[in-house]
Amino acid sequence: MTPSVAEPTNLGADTSTIPSWRDCIRQLEAPGDAFCEHLLRLDQPSLQARFGNFVAPAFLAGYASRVDAANTLLIGCYPDGELRGVAELRSFEPRWADECEAAFSVEPAWQGRGIGTALMARSASEAHRLGVERIHVICDELNQRMKRMVSRVGGKLLLVEGECFGTIDVRGRPA
C-alpha cells in the first residue's frame, strides 16, 4: 500500500472553545502510584488507543514502575486534583537525544475537553527544552483525536496501512 499524507486542513478544529488546562498541568516528579492508578482507570478502548493492544492490569503496574527518568518525562493533568491525563515523552536513546516518541492517555470521563491537546502542546515545549528536535507519534488511522492533536501543534501526518505516523518538529519552538 502506498503511504499517503493526511491533510491537516481535514483534521484541524477551532480551539477557541477548548478550556485552558495550563494551571492543571505539571511534570510528574515521582510517577509511581499516581501514574499506575491513572492507567488502571482507563477503559479498554483507551488502553487499546494508548498501547495498541489489550493489556492486563499487571502489565500496567509493571509499565508504571519501569519509568526511567533518564530518558522519559511524564507530564500530568490534574483538573480536579487527581491525575486524569498523561503525556509521556520517551527518548529513543538511553539519555535524551534529537528524537523521541510521545504517547498520551486521558481518562474516558475527561476526554474531548482539550486535555490531550494541552498535554501535546506542553510536551512540545518540554521536548524543545530537553534538546529534542522531533517528536514521533503513532496511532491507528481511525484515531481522529490523536490526529487532530498532532495537527494542532503543526505536526505532519503520514498514513500507512492502517496506521498514522505523526512527526512534530520542535526546533525553534519556545521552551
Domains and CATH numbers, the chain: 16-132 (3.40.630.30)
Q: Which amino acid is at 116?
A: G
How confident is the model over 28-73, as pLDDT tens digits?
877 678 999 999 999 999 999 899 888 999 999 999 999 998 999 9
- Can you tell me the distance from the alpha carbon of 44 to that of 4, in angstroms, rounded to the nearest whole number? 29
C-alpha cell at 21: 488546562
Report the interhelical angle of 57-65 vs 32-41 (nearest 10°): 150
C-alpha cell at 18: 477548548
Chunked into runs of 10 residues, the chain (175 residues) has average pLDDT values of 37 42 84 89 93 91 91 94 95 95 95 91 92 94 89 91 92 66
